[in-house]
Amino acid sequence: MLSYRHAYHAGNFADVLKHVVLVEILQHLVKKDSAFDYIDTHAGAGLYFLNQAPVGPGRGVTGQGARPGEHRDGIARLAAAEWPELARYFDILQRVNADGSLYRYPGSPLIALHFLRRQDRAWLFELHSRDVALLERHIAQNPLFRTYRTGGLRARVLHEDGFKGLLALLPPISRRGLILIDPSYEIKTDYARVFDALAAAWKKFSTGIYALWYPVVERGRIDSLEKKFRTSGIGNIQRFELAVAADAPGYGMTAAGMIVVNPPWTLMAKMSLLLPRLVDALGQQPGAFYQCDILAGEQERK
Amino acid at position 109, single letter: P
SS3 of 98-109: the string is CCCCCCEEECHH
Question: What single DSSP character describes residue 15?
Answer: H
Amino acid at position 80, single letter: A
Q: How many helices (H) does the chain have, and how many strands (E)?
A: 9, 10
Which spans in the chain are helix H?
13-29, 87-96, 108-113, 129-141, 143-150, 162-165, 190-204, 219-230, 267-282
Three-state SS for 9?
helix
Contact 208, 260 (CB under 8 A): no
Radius of gyration of the chain measured on its C-alpha atoms = 18
Closest by alpha carbon to 148, among 222, 232, 236, 38?
38
Three-state SS for 33?
coil
Q: What are phi and psi of 238, to 5 degrees?
A: -120, 155
Return the bridge partners of 261, or none.
Answer: 210, 237
Q: Tell me the CB-side half-sphere exposure of residue 126, using CA atoms within 13 A.
A: 23
Amino acid at position 282, single letter: L
Q: What are phi and psi of 296, to 5 degrees?
A: -155, 135
Instruction: Catalytic residue, from 15, 37, 131, 182: name it.
Output: 182
Active site residue 182: yes
Q: Between helices 13-29 and 267-282, what is the axis angle to 10°?
A: 160
Catalytic residues: 182
